[in-house]
Structure 1
Amino acid sequence: MVDKHAPMTQSTPNVMRKASSVKAPAHHELAANKISPGARTTTASTLQRRMTAAASATTPQPTPTPAPRRSIALGQVVRTRRPDDVELRRPETIEIVVKYLLGQVELRKFRELFDHIDVDRAGTIDYDEFFDFIEDRRTKFSDNLFRQIDPKYDGTLDFEHFVHILTSYCMRSREEILQFAFDTFDDDASGSLDELEFMELAKMMHDGKPVFASNFNKALAEFDTHGDGIITFAAFQQISKRYPMLLFPAFRLQDQMQRMSLGLNHWHKIHVRYFDVVSMEAYRKKHNGAAPPIPTLKKIKLLFGVGTFDVYQPHT
């Protein structure tokens, strides 16, 4: 007889089956959550990326330094773009035009001159056409100028090369022209001229005609301070002062470029603008960023628009 108030018990087989049924889901769950080797690698790489990102977020990053900007020149104005504005594409040309404060007035004149030389409307002119235009002769010295501006050096110039050559050479100082001439004939880039290089310079500049009134070797020895047949740039500067005709063709080339393009007076104005900006920047550095005083007469002229000019605005 069974006591219905006694605690209920289960048989051993039933208990075992239930225990087995209870453990089975846990076993399957562990099997389902097991990480494969490939997944383990992916998880580790993800963790590494997160740790790296967190470290970068806490590590101060250097702030990029903005490109230096040239001071606004006295009298410089900003004009509205026009449909007929001359547009430049080559970064090197834009850089030199902006550096020397040229604007649409100058670029339109350059375009007019270029189109006048480019009679066949090919979009290019050759070197000989350029020298016919400036009424000067072509030499190794002038060819090196083209080579410096046009890496292709294929005997032709497009409009932007034309602008670049005129602007860069017309804006050079006497010192810069001397240095350019010196470097042109320093064939081995030694920083000095030997006797052969110096003789080539003298002959090339003057079509082989004698430059020195006295014996050439005597003139060379006069500035060869070490007696080794080597002319340094400092000695070269002294030679150019003692014998001004030696490098006269280099300065004549600049004179002809200026005369036949914008005119001597206009290039002089551009030189003055550039000098004003350089002087202003030097003043600001010396006076903690303060602008230099403006003469009253200059203020009055600018008030009435006298002496104002625009500078090329590249597309951004």
Structure 2
Amino acid sequence: MKELFVLVFVQVLIARGASGECPCTHREDTDPFFPGHGEGSMVDCEFVNDGKLDVVPTQCWSLLDDVTQIFLDFNGISHIDANAFAGLPNLRSLVLSHNKISTISEGAFHGLESLEHLDLSYNKLIQPPSELWNLTSLRFLSLGKNEIIKLQDATISNLINLNTLDIHWNHLTGVPKAMLQPLSHLNKVYLHWNMLTSLPDMRANVHLTEVYVKGNALLMFPKHLFGNLTKPMTYHFSDNPAFDISASMLTPLPDFSHIKMEDDVLVWANDVEEMELILSKHWNIIDGLGNILNLKDRLMLCTRKETKDSRNRVIPC
């Protein structure tokens, strides 16, 4: 009887919180697709009151210390205050996507040393908070579909455990060339649908399996973008103004890699040996519409540049 009274009392406290009634649901059955599953509890604040929740409901976890997952997506939150997630040392997953977040106070993520998954996609951020780059346990970071203009001040290199970096669909015109080099665990990079005129050096990121750079403003692709990749990779670079690429950009891709490019791209090999290497690869190559492309029909030798037609193309030799 005593145990039942304590349980009911705790549930009442959770429902009311420290500063008002909690609009969310506290669950012991955590989401198996996110970090923190089976290790604690979940606070489900997804689409509260038909998406009308406009503040972070700190009262929902102010009396809890075992929360490992918080879902606040599909609401109307526009600002995150300092210490919004204080007292949650075990939090592993925090989903804030599909809100209206434009500002985040310094200290909002203070104390989240265990956070592995942070989703801030589909918001209105112009500049990520600087403390974001101190969350060294992060494995997944999504800033996609925001209004970010630059990352020159972002020290992404601090996120040494990062596996997935998603910055697609922002207003980026450039990123630091050495931005990704220290990230030895990096697996997926999504930079598509920005306005990038250059790409970061990825030669140190040998565990890459997905790289999307389609839909940018690249006039020329780097000759040497990838290192000694360990697994087949999906590489999408269609919908850029660059017509031609160097074969050296593709040669590191292992067999069975998936490549998406424009159907009028020409691939320039430095010599016959590199041309033969390209032709020996077993890749799946398609255009933007999903049509299969024959790389043999698009392969050119740099020593035969004079045979190329007179269209205004930058030949990467």
Normalised by the size of structure 1, how large is the TM-score? 0.19
Which structure has more relative contact order (CA 8 Å, sep 6+)? It is 1
Normalised by the size of structure 2, how large is the TM-score? 0.19
Larger Rg: 1
> Which structure's residues are more often helix, by fraction?
1
> Which structure's residues are more often strand, by fraction?
2
